[in-house]
Structure 1
Amino acid sequence: MIGSILVVDDEEIVRNSLRQWLELGGFEVWVAGGAPEAIEAVRKAAPDVVLTDYRMAQRSGLDLMRDVYRIDPDIPVVMLTAHGDVPLAVAAMREGAYDFLQKPYDPELLSAVMSRATERRKLKRQLRQLANRVAAPDSINVRLIGLSKSVAAIRASVLELAAHDRSVIISGETGTGKEVVARALHDYGSRSSAPFVAVNCAAIPAELFESELFGHEAGAFTSARGIRIGKFEHASSGTLLLDEIESMPLSFQAKILRALQERVIERIGSNKLIPIDVRVIAAAKGDLAAESRHGRFRSDLYFRLAAAEIHLPPLRERGNDVLLLFEHFADAAAKAVGRPLSPLRTDDLDALLAHEWPGNVRELKNVAERYALGIAATGRTVGEILRRGDNGDVAHRSLADRVSVYERTLIETALRDSDWSITAVTEQLRLPRRTLNEKMAKYGLSRSRREDL
């Protein structure tokens, strides 16, 4: 069973028609002839989704939605409306309706909307479970958020490796959370009360590496007016993260290797050996083993660092973790500014899942925070935010990105010019209806957005 749906309509023929179609699609379906009966069903059974007609004899779908949200604000409510009720349905969405469909509805589109709505309901349940698990501020679940198998494995590795004092290499694309994982390894280990020091190797000029990491004595060179304590000493008894270690010059890698082997360093301008007690964690954007095989990174240093390795997958490979993380970051941002968080709609979810997230979790957090603020200048919907965030120098985009921008523009223009007649657009662009629906979902285009385009 995909999920449970409560269908509410005061016309028995419509109720039965909806029930038959949705049951064929694998849903468990309950029906109600009006708001009072529907509210009783919500209290007793807690359906995953409520699908209700807007106009009913006793109470409207909008009144029903308000009652449902008083019982459980996480149940998605989808409206069925006649063509003339579209402005009312848009107003309902501003109050929190998940989506609306016009009569006569497209059965396949109905199934797709119900599937996404039940997925959202499951996501909300997962968020609540996560919130219960992260009630303690130091919980590993709030550090490394996700329900995918890959993230669960990473959490287990962190807890296991934190108990040891071995060096660790963390690999992953930019923005996947390498420093977050490194910090967790430190905080859950025996060195947690000592300093955690992060060094971005890509930001240090080659001639300053030795001074930055090992320190220098006063007068060691022209600008050395006093003693400088290097990062190795500063991290004494704690953890030193060498981020983007693949950027470290080969000439300096030998000195790092010696420091790790001998457990001593020398400040520039001094002959005194200074013992060091520090756990070293290295982070790399690429495959450090491959870099060492090709001579771009010292293999002996790689093997010294690689007592253990953790690979962080890109966000695009983490499935619904995208939605979970977005809700987490957006909710935190909304609470920080003291404003309610607008519920995600169908095309918002589509846009989140369709995006490639080249900036990974870092990019997602930025988009979530902008969504929570809801500022028109940066976009109020996920699709708008992503499109405006992509409006950089087109000349530097990939061919695939440029084709996507062009394709979206063509579809959006055709929809606007035809007053959102799907039939007219399929004929104009010579696209099968299913293909058009998929592309509209990909680019965050839906009838509910017609006023925004």
Structure 2
Amino acid sequence: MTDRVLVVDDDASVREALGQTLELADLRPVTAGSYIEAKDHVSPEFGGVVVTDIRMPGKDGFALLDWVQKVDEDLPVILLTGEGDVPMAVKAMSNGAFDFLEKPCESKVLLSVVHKALAARELVMENRRLKRELASGDAAARMLRGTSPQSEALRARVRLVARSGAEVLVTGPLGSGTAKVAEVVHLVSSAAPHPFVKRSAAALTPEALEDACDAAGSGTLFLDEVTTLGPATQLALLDRLDTGAEPRVIAGTYRDLDAEVEAGRFSADLAMRLDMLRVAIPPLNERKEDIAPLFRHYVALACEQANLPEPEISPEVIARLMAQDWPGNARSLMNAAMRFAMGVSDPAPAEELGLAEQMTQVERTLLIAALEKAEGRAVQAAEALKLPRKTFYDKLARHGLRAEDYRKV
């Protein structure tokens, strides 16, 4: 989700101060000075939150809250209140306001509430996306691409295990896409209308695990790299599975789970519970006929996201792709496709460049493209990239770029 916060206040100095606070937190503020201006930014597709003052000329913050609720009742609205407005703000929360803050409010308090609202909005938008994908047809065919017999077998296996409510273990080499496979299992299962929640196992405490289960509800909880669960969290997860409580748990790993059990790093009882049904993702070098269609898909996707024309993919390019072993699997192929789409280089295994080098090249290409399109107008280029101005100028300096070099004479 794009981190955007719509700030609505008729006082320009207040709007500027709030905007700066949000920019420094790497959020993307959009400001409006009235109810009318704010309406132009709000829609069911708006992936952010609204922070609005209550007292404004004409229609006030309460009127804006009512209108937002009619447009999208799940869009969080945070009210900024004066001392005398607190009772009204409390009442407004019963009508759907996400929270209220007394003015002036400390930056850390504002950011804490905004981040909570953004997290809630992100979950709503993600669930809507999953439901749209479910409604559009066979998620396994749509999301697990490839024409090889191995890919056909993978899709068939996913559809089979999805029909069971039992726990699933998704295994595959690093970069093979265990999270995507887990998401597809969810989408073709009866739990699809409910949340799909992904968590990194390494960061989970027993308390965080309980919060993740609550967030998933009657849906699916995916534990990424499950072998990194701490001992206490392993015990908490086993206790929950033994009670048969929702959500359904899908675990993913590129490590050998049996070896982790033998080494004493993972609970044998928990491993047995998680490995009720297994989906094994074959490495890319065992299904070479999938390389070309996957690469074309990734290139098209990268060009669509960057608003770039699709480059020609010659037979020579495909030949070079087929000659590689791709130890990084689909993730490496995706990185190579991104570089190719951006015109950075011909396809080569991502291992030839570190991730930081790859991202630096891509970032520089996007900055140059934005400057060229904006004809050197830095403010317009920053807005096109949805970057705060300070962040944009910092990136230009880091790459040794100057906006004036792209202005037309």
> 1:186 & 1:310 partners in 2: Cα distance?
13
1:285-338 per-residue CA deviation (whole Å, 9 max, x = no partner) reads 112123223322111111111111011112122112111100111123234445
Are positions 1:341 and 2:310 aligned together? yes
Question: Is contact 2:199-2:223 (8 Å) kept?
Answer: yes
Question: Is contact 2:206-2:232 (8 Å) kept?
Answer: no
Instruction: Report 1:86-105 matches (<5 A).
Output: none
> 1:187 & 1:180 partners in 2: Cα distance?
10
TM-aligned CA distance change 1:253 to 1:135, over 3 Å? closer
Are positions 1:389 and 2:370 aligned together? no
> 1:234 & 1:244 partners in 2: Cα distance?
19
Question: Is contact 2:139-2:188 (8 Å) kept?
Answer: no
SS for the counterpart of 2:205 is helix
AA matched with 2:334: K
> 2:314 & 2:235 partners in 1: Cα distance?
54
Are positions 1:350 and 2:319 aligned together? yes
AA matched with 1:389: L
TM-aligned CA distance change 1:326 to 1:211, over 3 Å? same
> 2:336 & 2:164 partners in 1: Cα distance?
37
> 2:182 & 2:333 partners in 1: Cα distance?
20
For 1:259, the equivalent position in structure 2 comes to 240
SS for the counterpart of 2:170 is strand
For 1:198, the equivalent position in structure 2 comes to 198
Question: Is contact 2:139-2:184 (8 Å) kept?
Answer: no
Which one has a bigger Cα radius of gyration?
1
For 1:248, the equivalent position in structure 2 comes to 229
- With normalisation by structure 1, the TM-score equals 0.46
For 1:209, the equivalent position in structure 2 comes to 205
Question: Is contact 2:285-2:325 (8 Å) kept?
Answer: yes
> 2:350 & 2:214 partners in 1: Cα distance?
43
Q: Over the residues paired in the alignment, what is the CA RMSD in angstroms?
A: 2.6
> 2:152 & 2:135 partners in 1: Cα distance?
18
For 2:212, the equivalent position in structure 1 comes to 231
AA matched with 2:347: V
Are positions 1:321 and 2:321 aligned together? no
> 1:300 & 1:150 partners in 2: Cα distance?
31
1:235-274 per-residue CA deviation (whole Å, 9 max, x = no partner) reads 11110111101011234312211111024xxxxxxxxxxx
SS for the counterpart of 1:320 is helix
> 1:209 & 1:240 partners in 2: Cα distance?
15
SS for the counterpart of 1:145 is coil
> 1:382 & 1:179 partners in 2: Cα distance?
25
Equivalent residue for 1:361, pick from 327, 330, 342: 330
Equivalent residue for 1:303, pick from 272, 275, 299: 272
SS for the counterpart of 1:164 is coil
For 2:379, the equivalent position in structure 1 comes to none
TM-aligned CA distance change 1:285 to 1:386, over 3 Å? closer
SS for the counterpart of 1:252 is helix
Where does the alignment leave 5 or more consecutive residues of structure 1 unmatched? 1-133, 215-229, 264-275, 394-453
TM-aligned CA distance change 1:329 to 1:293, over 3 Å? same
SS for the counterpart of 1:324 is helix
SS for the counterpart of 1:297 is coil
**Aligned-pair CA distance for 1:153:** 0.9
For 1:420, the equivalent position in structure 2 comes to none
For 1:159, the equivalent position in structure 2 comes to 159
**Aligned-pair CA distance for 1:211:** 2.0
**Aligned-pair CA distance for 1:368:** 0.9
AA matched with 1:250: P
Where does the alignment leave 5 or more consecutive residues of structure 2 unmatched? 1-133, 358-409
> 2:350 & 2:316 partners in 1: Cα distance?
12
> 2:218 & 2:355 partners in 1: Cα distance?
47
Range with greater deviation from structure 2 (167-176 or 361-370): 361-370
> 1:364 & 1:287 partners in 2: Cα distance?
24
> 1:347 & 1:296 partners in 2: Cα distance?
47
> 2:167 & 2:351 partners in 1: Cα distance?
41
TM-aligned CA distance change 1:241 to 1:391, over 3 Å? closer
**Aligned-pair CA distance for 1:136:** 4.5
